[in-house]
Chains A and B, each alone.
Chain A
């Protein structure tokens, strides 16, 4: 404890990772406040402030609020039902409720617009039935609106909440609930008085992730003509040609993110709930019967239907109608590229998150805790940056590094290899790691916090070193958390689009970039088979990991 400030190698490594992942964000910060670019940047910024920025900010906050609220409405009951109750279909709903994760938001947005907007199937059919002629004849909700966008995002993001909260519920101490039941609490009461306070942290973690994902979204809000801060970033950068002003707005968004992260930490400041001693057995589950069981199953099925089954069916319909244009013999290659990149990113993020978090765990004093926590914060900031902006953030340090590398190699051996880092797949993988590491950190951290510190103490007393403690003790306990993290990162990487689009080398195509060229022309039909493939490939690890975690 009194070793002073001599950092351990583990700490150095954690800090190195944290700062490396922070580089793109730092680059944007410098861009935002660089003096030589100050003048035009300020002008654009104050113009925006005088005109549209307030609308954008309020739209952004409203959007985040609604997505969070809807995610809770969709996800929390499902999580509780599946973790705590026995009802028909529970066994397969348990993993089926994760399926919507595999559905990219730009696809679900497209499909629902095609169905529900004025020229869409639903309204056209209604007009046919009732003989309505114009919009003045009847009232119908506007799908391309803030509410519509929030619903779309919540439909694909609620599984985060479901997954994290379900795990948390399943891991809570059952004695407490049993005790509350013995003392006469009804299931509802015991939920509000015992479970909810214990899973509050998990809910906040999930909402922080969902909020950041919402902030970073551009495709959906753009398609739905909802102007948010992301719109402002693109307008200023591409329209007003001012990366400085764009960087400033990005920084504003990052402040929001730090707020989210801070909120999440704050909510857990006093919390220490360690893994239950008792194993969950199905005897403990509330057995739902009659109307209650039907309602439970129906609720899960309804959400699953709208979040996954319906869009999937529509996609299949597109594919059948357009099989001649939508089929491309190169899909297997694209799918291979997507798969290997997503898998690489998953492995990297899980490994570095383990390093960062295990270092964070090994803190004794208050200052040490604070100091060791920073790397995990640094390594999570990239999540909220819109993909294209992140891509620029990645390009700035990588090209700088490339130039330096070329200089050195040129002096050494008169050899200039060119853009080794920024011009290759490395850039894409780096960008994905920066973007999705927050997901891995979140998932593994919540697992980590369940491991009682007494386990560490005992291990240390028995003479286990840092690495062995990690390898022999923590890792087996963290298996579920790591698998969940890997799964989430994998699926996110499969779907990710804007960063890959801008950073890719020549003739580099993933399923997502292939789909995008058609989506950007509002002709998803022509890429429907590729879009289906994204969903299906995302399902493979989902089923695989589900099996692993069920087997134990």
Chain B
């Protein structure tokens, strides 16, 4: 009995120790493995450094916090900027920089205190029914609250990070009061209670349930690549909102280095690689995202949507309104009937 307990303990230890070995990068990822694996494989091929991943959509931050100085994590990959800032604000990151990063990533997409960098950009687009509304290239987010869209809007939960970020940016531009009115207006225009993901809204437009929806840019590209979903995407136009004024709301995916990263050198190599032409090109072609590095070629389909004006407001400023945004979503009962 004692022996077997000891053996089990040793087994656990070796298992833990393996994760500590050099020549490996341990990744906590909020992004699905099937999105990032091809990029990580190329990294391993080029450098010989192995990668190990734990993927979860919720709670990795808490796990990192509890693990403290013994945490095996080297880097954390996130799918939106709120998480980047929450990790940094929680004191779970350490500063990192390199010439490569400074060269590849524009200033606006790097934390001034070097706690995080963005890797890719995505637009919060407004999709519209080709058949019933046609091109809406002059639309702004503000218009979604106007009477003409009564009963015509579909969206995922207001509390999804992508929508929270959009609401935060509305607060940043228009203040709390106006944003609340806007939310009430949009809610009154909804064709159905917020549900499903961004693709499901496009599907609903195709089926005639609604005419307008909110959705990230890359979903359009991904749907066009999928045999079954292609017909959904073909039923809609992708519009870049607020081109007449401040530009479209941008979110980013990004990376931080964990405070207690055991493999710092390898981690920095990985981050450098993620900003390189090769990796940025893969992000663009595999996931249909906009690379942060300038000069990287867009996927032909993404390029065909044309150039557009980005909302230049700083990420940190938007993120500052996150809690306010959540509070407004609760106050307006946006997700409830």
Residues of chain A at the chain B interface (Cβ within 8 Å) = 47-48, 51-52, 55, 118-119, 124, 133-135, 142, 144, 224-225, 227, 234-235, 237-241, 243, 388, 391-392, 395-396, 399, 402-403, 406, 416-426, 498, 501-508, 513, 517-518, 520-522, 525
Q: Which residues of B contact A403 (CB under 8 A)?
A: 68, 70
Give A237 to B66 CA distance when docked, in angstroms. Answer: 15
Residues B16 and A424 in contact, CB atoms below 8 Å apart: yes
Known: A418-B72, A422-B66. 11 other contacts (CB 8 A): A142-B192, A395-B62, A395-B63, A395-B67, A418-B13, A419-B70, A425-B15, A505-B54, A518-B32, A520-B57, A521-B197
Closest to A417 in B: B13
**A–B pairs, 26, beta carbons within 8 Å:** A51-B327, A55-B333, A119-B204, A119-B207, A119-B209, A134-B208, A135-B209, A144-B195, A144-B196, A225-B193, A225-B335, A227-B335, A237-B62, A239-B159, A239-B326, A392-B62, A399-B66, A418-B13, A418-B70, A419-B70, A423-B70, A505-B54, A517-B55, A518-B32, A522-B199, A522-B200
Give A493 to B116 CA distance when docked, in angstroms. Answer: 37
Give A243 to B336 CA distance when docked, in angstroms. Answer: 23
Residues B32 and A520 in contact, CB atoms below 8 Å apart: yes
Residues A224 and B195 in contact, CB atoms below 8 Å apart: yes
Q: What are the 8 closest A-B residue pairs judged by CB atoms, nearest first? A: A225-B195, A506-B52, A51-B330, A119-B207, A424-B12, A399-B66, A502-B59, A395-B66
Residues A392 and B59 in contact, CB atoms below 8 Å apart: yes
Q: Which residues of B contact A234 (CB under 8 A)?
A: 58
Residues B16 and A423 in contact, CB atoms below 8 Å apart: yes
Q: Is B215 an interface residue (CB 8 A)?
A: no
Interface size on B, residues (CB 8 A): 58
Q: Which residues of B contact A417 (CB under 8 A)?
A: 13, 16-17
Give A135 to B58 CA distance when docked, in angstroms. Answer: 35
Give A52 to B157 CA distance when docked, in angstroms. Answer: 15
Residues A507 and B53 in contact, CB atoms below 8 Å apart: yes
Give A173 to B333 CA distance when docked, in angstroms. Answer: 54
Q: Which single member of B19, B33, B58, B164 contacts A502 (CB below 8 Å)?
A: B58
Give A36 to B34 CA distance when docked, in angstroms. Answer: 41
Residues A52 and B54 in contact, CB atoms below 8 Å apart: no
Q: Is B293 an interface residue (CB 8 A)?
A: no
Q: Which single member of B12, B193, B196, B330 contacts A522 (CB below 8 Å)?
A: B196
Q: Is B108 an interface residue (CB 8 A)?
A: no
Residues A506 and B72 in contact, CB atoms below 8 Å apart: yes
Give A452 to B8 CA distance when docked, in angstroms. Answer: 40
Q: Is B121 an interface residue (CB 8 A)?
A: no
Residues B197 and A522 in contact, CB atoms below 8 Å apart: yes
Q: Is B86 an interface residue (CB 8 A)?
A: yes
A209 to chain B, nearest CB (A): 25
Give A374 to B192 CA distance when docked, in angstroms. Answer: 47
Give A479 to B203 CA distance when docked, in angstroms. Answer: 52
Which residues of B in the span 21-74 have a Cβ within 8 Å of any Cβ on A? 26, 32-34, 52-60, 62-63, 66-68, 70-72
Q: Which residues of A contact B33 (CB under 8 A)?
A: 517
Give A425 to B14 CA distance when docked, in angstroms. Answer: 12
Q: Is B323 an interface residue (CB 8 A)?
A: yes
Q: Which residues of A contact B228 (CB under 8 A)?
A: 525
Residues B59 and A506 in contact, CB atoms below 8 Å apart: no
**A506 with B26: in contact, given A403-B68, A501-B56, A520-B57 (CB under 8 Å)?**
yes
**A506 with B67: in contact, given A391-B59, A419-B16 (CB under 8 Å)?**
no
Q: Is B331 an interface residue (CB 8 A)?
A: yes
Q: Is B124 an interface residue (CB 8 A)?
A: no
Q: Which single member of A51, A419, A503 contacts B72 (CB below 8 Å)?
A: A419
Give A167 to B138 CA distance when docked, in angstroms. Answer: 67
**A47 with B330: in contact, given A224-B195, A422-B67 (CB under 8 Å)?**
yes
Q: Which residues of B contact A241 (CB under 8 A)?
A: 86, 323
Residues A52 and B333 in contact, CB atoms below 8 Å apart: yes
B9, B196, B203, B333 — most chain A CB neighbours (10 Å): B196
Q: Which residues of A contact B20 (CB under 8 A)?
A: 418
Q: Is B249 an interface residue (CB 8 A)?
A: no
A111 to chain B, nearest CB (A): 15
Give A507 to B322 CA distance when docked, in angstroms. Answer: 33
Give A356 to B200 CA distance when docked, in angstroms. Answer: 49
Residues A402 and B70 in contact, CB atoms below 8 Å apart: yes
Q: Is B206 an interface residue (CB 8 A)?
A: yes
Give A507 to B37 CA distance when docked, in angstroms. Answer: 12
Q: Which residues of B contact A418 (CB under 8 A)?
A: 13, 16-17, 20, 70, 72
Give A399 to B69 CA distance when docked, in angstroms. Answer: 11
Q: Which residues of B contact A504 (CB under 8 A)?
A: 54
B168 to chain A, nearest CB (A): 12
Q: Is B221 an interface residue (CB 8 A)?
A: no
Give A55 to B20 CA distance when docked, in angstroms. Answer: 47
Residues B207 and A225 in contact, CB atoms below 8 Å apart: no
Q: Which residues of A contact B57 (CB under 8 A)?
A: 501, 520
B90 to chain A, nearest CB (A): 8
Q: Is B194 an interface residue (CB 8 A)?
A: yes
Give A396 to B86 CA distance when docked, in angstroms. Answer: 20
Q: Which residues of B contact A416 (CB under 8 A)?
A: 70
B60 to chain A, nearest CB (A): 7
